[in-house]
Structure 1
Amino acid sequence: MSVSYWLGVDTGGTFTDFVLLGDGEPRIHKVLSTPSAPEQAILQGITELGLKDAMAAGQLVIVHGTTVATNAALEGKGARTVLITNQGLEDILRIGRQNRAELYNLTPTPPPSMLDTVNVEGSPARLDARGKEVIPLSDAGLTQLVEKVLAHQPQSVALCLLFSYLNPAHEQRIRQALEAAGLPVSASHAILPTRGEYERGMATWLNAWLAPKVADYLQRLQQATDPAPLAIMQSHGGTIASDQAAGLAVNLLLSGPAGGLAAARRLGEQLRQPRLMTFDMGGTSTDVALLDGDLRLTQQGHIGPYPVAVPMVDMHTIGAGGGSLAYVDDAGLLHVGPHSAGADPGPACYGRGGNQVTVTDANVVLGRLQPDFALGGSLTLDTAAARHAMKTLASQLGLGVEETAEGVLALANEHMTQALRVISIQKGFDPANFALLSFGGAGGLHVCALADNLGMRSALVPRRAGVLSAEGLVYAPRKREQLQALPDGAGDAALRERIGTLQHQGSAELIREGVGAEQIQHHVFVDMCYQGQSSVLQVPWQPAVAAREALFHDAHEVRFGHRLALPVQQVNIRVQSQATRTPPAQPPLPARTGEAIRHTRLPGVDQQVAIYHRDTLGPGQTIQGPALIAEAVGTTWLAPQWQASVDAQGHLLLTRPGA
């Protein structure tokens, strides 16, 4: 069965984005998201793109970035879960790491947590720190444990025993017994086989808590799209077949945003611009990240209040998007976000009953979002409704309508600027040495202001920037991130044995997806630290121990500014197994020179503003600001003193001469 089309589908809080390859020029599409049943928006888009026949024939590959796991975690809507740990350690997840939000409060009130509702059972079996059995798991003890778990009538079970990453035998027996009783089980030796019972336990509990909801959604989507192949983006920037993804919900928490970074990496390679700071501004939030040649992964991520120690793209998210609500507090101060108007009713300008000001309304009031260009003209913008909502807000501030709109945008821009500082300046990177890559439906309207705030001299607005995350999904590799903790004092022979095991495991999973063995590439890394440290740094595998240690010393000095005269420990082995995708090539941009379709005056701008349609621009063309460059999925506001050049692929390269 040959594949004719490749479809990237990115579900956001406001819109669901589609990018279709395989039919000449890439086709793009947007529909309003349906949060209660996300598959409905996906099926609507597939129908409107005329792909039902190709899907029914299995000629359509669908790669999907989903927010189901993220939303369930943030909204506290996981499954009824029982946690099994060792006797005496039942409170380990509630105790946590003792990180306090109020350092000097001697009697802090613990914030409410979904962990407060989790039933915990303890297993009497025990392993020592080398994985050797100290207290065996008897048949009678196992039967009693299963009976206790079943009495809670759980929908899912999380299983996390001490040192199971060195010896999973006890977890495997308990898992088999519970699965025989009809319960889905997430076992820590399969979810995160590494040290740190708190982080390992949290990852396992999150997976168990979220997996039933994710599995139910993916099953509905797979049934609706069958027999079309369906792959899901994972948090580390690689995809996985939907049937394998259902049981790995914790790996999908950054599924959607990771697609944009996959596209950013590909774009950086094409433009020979490896140093990028990205900001993906959607309807409800903005995601920012930094690329220095490749995606930066972290195991210190968070989703809401919960630590997530599985590998994920290093990203910072704030509640500032096109749908972020503006309001005045009791002290008369203006705020923007983090609450959002969402897809329904949406901003006031959508004409769907919303009456509160959003960032999108501010752009409409200031003329930067023209009604005839919103979503290619398919979305009718109600300028009068936006102005009416802004007038109500302005009256509370004692300001004019346009002045209030400018204040809303200034606050939203400052929120995003602060987020970009977190992932750059606070980590030792100078933003001036990077280019700012803007994407997402609302990003182009703010890119110049953010670059100015950060002292950056260049920026990029890629072609189809409003759906770049969806496009990145199609090009993302099929990938597995395998991890295994090492016992103390493990020699090179033991390391090589574990590397071989992880490579075989990664290959087997990819082959199950239909990947040829000859297509699979493996990349090996070692997590290392100084003796006595708890945090690790990742270095590429080298055959010689001395070479690995030298790389670690260098990495430690770069990250922390010094190196120590202490022994170095090898903590974990990591293997990345991946196979690249080869979707159809995109045709080059034809030679042409687009003219401004009209000129207009905008509030707060002293000059005439030229308005261009991006689809008419040709390679090599240069546009001077102020200008609006509109396309079907977004508008770029080219501020005064900025200029934009169109490259051979149609990307906008923004510079500020003399900056």
Structure 2
Amino acid sequence: MKAIGIDVGGTFTDLIYVDRQTGAQGIHKVSTTPHDPSQGVITGLTELMVQGAIAPSDIAQVFHGTTTATNAVLEARGARAGMITNQGFRDVLHIGRHQRPDHYSIMQEIPWQNRPLIKRRYRKTVQGRLVPPTGEELEPLDEAAIRKAARELKAEGVEAVAICFLFSYLNPIHENRARAIVAEEMPDAFVTTSSDISPQFREFERFTTAALATFVGPKVGRYVRNLEGALADQKISGDLRIMASNGGVVTPRMVTQNPALTMMSGLAAGVLGGAWVGQRCGRDKVITFDIGGTSADIGIAIDGVCAETDARSTSIAGFPLLMPMLDIHTIGAGGGSIAYVDQGGAFKVGPQSAGADPGPAAYGRGGTKPTVTDANLVLGRLEPGDFLGGEMGLDLGAAQAVIKDLAAELGMDPLEAAEGVLTILNANMANAIRSRTVQRGIDPRAFSLVAMGGAGPLQGAEVAAMLEVPEVIVPPHPGITSALGLLIADLKYDVIHTQFQVSTSADLALFNSEFAEMEAKLTARLTEDGLNTEDVRFERAGDLRYLGQGYELRVPFDLGEVTETALEQVWQRFHKSHAAEYGHAFESSSIEVVNLRMTAVGPSPDLDLPTLEGGKGLDAAHVRTRQAVFRVDGRLQSFETQVYRRDFLPLGVPVPGPAILLQKDSTTVVPPKATAMPHETGSVIISLEAKS
């Protein structure tokens, strides 16, 4: 059974196919087509099929990671969206929680006020009110007002509408009726409800999550439909699955109904792929470090389990997002990041990127600004004639020209300026990793760094050295690791119910009935999507806090009947989790459950890739010796650097740095005082010299 993984990045679209029966595999990269990413997907797919002699009918599964929703939010290029809410609550999206994202900044940007997802003039209010604790109706819904609001929004060119009412997480009856009316009046619009998108308490976060889904809904829907149509045109009838932010894959139908599921689609696949590569090498604690052309994405995995975010820190572009998501930290730092001198005279790199078009000056497509790729080329760390396996040449002269202009502005030597670009970039990345490790009580020195993406292996060793991480793992195909992660992702559907219960008066019957209802809901959803439920396993969890606290910790619940004994185990898990997170626990305090969660997991088939038996020898792998520039012991020095074909390197033979390892989808830099060792899994492990 052949499966294909396709990950669309800001600069390149990466593809990998694997025959799950034989272990045969192939990879391919094409430039991303920003105006319509599906065009790049189909171009890459057809070329990959030709290269691998794959018939369309042989493809059983297509797994896809998309940045369509992410980019729409980051670039503020979504739909003209409207909202219908309770009278008196028109400005929930604007007011937020009266909290400043940065407490002490007087110049800060507040995203939901500076660039609202739904402009105020497109927010309509109607009479109708439900009340807690059960969601009973206090005031009937004004259906005539709903119809009037829908007609007004239609006349104003609104193409997507969010229905957001108070306490709909307790009872969605008003939202469901309003959606039906709006759909009658606006049959071509994308219409959704906050109870469908995120049925949880906290109205600002729930409303904003629904607004995000509405803002990206039409664009995501068009993209998915275009992709499905293009696959059909290519006679590919295999199942299409799309990566969700929770680290699982879902059906296209699920994505078009709830496009917010894909806010971190491609990024989640990278963390999964990096964790899998680490485990194959026998490493259970890894920091995944995925650098593409535009951004660097950082994740943590322990024992193959990727960390998930909590309600306090789940956001995209500054907007809170109440959705299950892997804990991924993204910064604007990649191969295309632009180096510049700001108005205050500071030397900076990123977050602006040259992207795919025109790209870095070295691409020869008209780029005129110095980038990280240009700096690496000028320093001799990239081979001008061997980029993308020789399919794309790099223009050394153009790179030298833009770096020379930058150096003149800085009053520096060009090589110093180029190395400065990399030092600033690496420091930014190291600081981002510290924010996910050191600042959370995690010692990065106990981890391995999995360097992936097209630019990860170029920077990985130097970033690891800044953090005193002892080794770097470079996957077999680092530039395709996110696409590989798609192939190992499980099918994963989530359901969340808000339910308030206190440990001192827990209602066991209510716990059991809620979990039974959630399991039935998930089973029905799987059946509607035509999925086999026989092999699905269910996982339970709850969001818990001490009574009176404002934020929660996620704690697992065992399967089976919820009994007094089972609940006591949950309370003890919470105490331990609180102590691990905050350094203390209040074991005599009452505990409050606020949300119950259930996940249906359909395991993906095992991906059993063959191990390597050896290479062609170090001499056969040697391509040339060239000069490359590195900073060692505080001094910038030029070193004779050995250049090797990575696929020819023999197992068990160390490759001392400085060295450059060439392959199609990336270039690996082994700096001085480091040693690379090819591993039987196809990865390369770079050991760094410990600091004295």
Per the normalisation by structure 1, the TM-score is: 0.95
1:12 aligns with 2:9: yes
2:460 & 2:117 partners in 1: Cα distance? 40
Deviation of residue 268 (structure 1)?
Answer: 3.3
AA of the residue aligned to 2:671: A
Q: List gaps (5 residues or longer) in structure 2.
A: 631-636
1:55 & 1:138 partners in 2: Cα distance? 57
Residues 222-271 of structure 1: CA deviation (Å, up to 9, x unaligned): 10102332111011111111122112111111111111111123223323
1:591 & 1:210 partners in 2: Cα distance? 48
The residue number in structure 1 matching 2:570 is 548
AA of the residue aligned to 1:502: M
* Structure 1 residues 82 and 335: alpha-carbon distance in aligned structure 2, compared to 1, 3 A threshold: same
- Comparing 417-426 with 582-591, greater Cα deviation is found at 582-591
1:474 aligns with 2:487: yes
The residue number in structure 2 matching 1:497 is 513
Deviation of residue 570 (structure 1)?
Answer: 0.9
Query: What does 1:20-419 align with in structure 2 at a 5 Å threshold?
Result: 20-22=17-19, 24-50=23-49, 56-57=56-57, 59-100=59-100, 103=103, 112-115=114-117, 117-118=119-120, 119-130=122-133, 131-181=135-185, 182=187, 183-226=189-232, 227-293=237-303, 294-298=305-309, 299=311, 300-419=313-432
1:594 & 1:388 partners in 2: Cα distance? 38
Deviation of residue 653 (structure 1)?
Answer: 1.6
Residue pair 2:647, 2:663 contacting (<8 A) in 1 also: yes
Deviation of residue 657 (structure 1)?
Answer: 4.5
AA of the residue aligned to 1:358: T
AA of the residue aligned to 1:526: G
SS at match of 1:518: coil
Residue pair 2:500, 2:592 contacting (<8 A) in 1 also: no
2:105 & 2:433 partners in 1: Cα distance? 30
Residues 93-136 of structure 1: CA deviation (Å, up to 9, x unaligned): 10002222564578988652124624112231111121121112
The residue number in structure 2 matching 1:571 is 594
Residue pair 1:263, 1:473 contacting (<8 A) in 2 also: yes
Residues 386-427 of structure 1: CA deviation (Å, up to 9, x unaligned): 111111111112222211111111111111111111111111
Residue pair 2:278, 2:473 contacting (<8 A) in 1 also: no
Q: List gaps (5 residues or longer) in structure 1.
A: none
Residues 343-402 of structure 1: CA deviation (Å, up to 9, x unaligned): 111111111111211000100011111123211010111111111111111111222221
Residue pair 1:56, 1:225 contacting (<8 A) in 2 also: no
Identify the match of residue 441 of structure 1 among 435, 454, 458.
Answer: 454
* Structure 1 residues 528 and 109: alpha-carbon distance in aligned structure 2, compared to 1, 3 A threshold: closer
2:380 & 2:106 partners in 1: Cα distance? 52
Residue pair 1:58, 1:229 contacting (<8 A) in 2 also: no
The residue number in structure 2 matching 1:598 is 624
Deviation of residue 620 (structure 1)?
Answer: 2.4
- Comparing 280-289 with 260-269, greater Cα deviation is found at 260-269
Number of positions where the alignment pairs a residue of Structure 1 with one of Structure 2 = 656
Taking only the aligned residue pairs, the percentage that are identical comes to: 36
* Structure 1 residues 657 and 320: alpha-carbon distance in aligned structure 2, compared to 1, 3 A threshold: closer
- Comparing 91-100 with 260-269, greater Cα deviation is found at 260-269
* Structure 1 residues 267 and 624: alpha-carbon distance in aligned structure 2, compared to 1, 3 A threshold: same
* Structure 1 residues 95 and 146: alpha-carbon distance in aligned structure 2, compared to 1, 3 A threshold: same
1:419 & 1:104 partners in 2: Cα distance? 21
Deviation of residue 611 (structure 1)?
Answer: 1.4
AA of the residue aligned to 2:579: E
AA of the residue aligned to 1:561: G
CA RMSD of aligned residues (A): 2.1
Residue pair 2:49, 2:55 contacting (<8 A) in 1 also: no
Deviation of residue 428 (structure 1)?
Answer: 1.1
* Structure 1 residues 109 and 441: alpha-carbon distance in aligned structure 2, compared to 1, 3 A threshold: closer
* Structure 1 residues 621 and 580: alpha-carbon distance in aligned structure 2, compared to 1, 3 A threshold: farther
The residue number in structure 2 matching 1:653 is 685
Residue pair 1:17, 1:29 contacting (<8 A) in 2 also: yes
Residues 454-483 of structure 1: CA deviation (Å, up to 9, x unaligned): 111122111101110011111111111211
AA of the residue aligned to 1:381: L
Per the normalisation by structure 2, the TM-score is: 0.91
2:109 & 2:608 partners in 1: Cα distance? 57
Deviation of residue 606 (structure 1)?
Answer: 5.2
* Structure 1 residues 584 and 179: alpha-carbon distance in aligned structure 2, compared to 1, 3 A threshold: same
Residue pair 1:375, 1:634 contacting (<8 A) in 2 also: yes
Deviation of residue 510 (structure 1)?
Answer: 3.0
Deviation of residue 221 (structure 1)?
Answer: 0.8
Deviation of residue 70 (structure 1)?
Answer: 0.8
Deviation of residue 515 (structure 1)?
Answer: 3.3
AA of the residue aligned to 2:38: E
AA of the residue aligned to 1:156: A
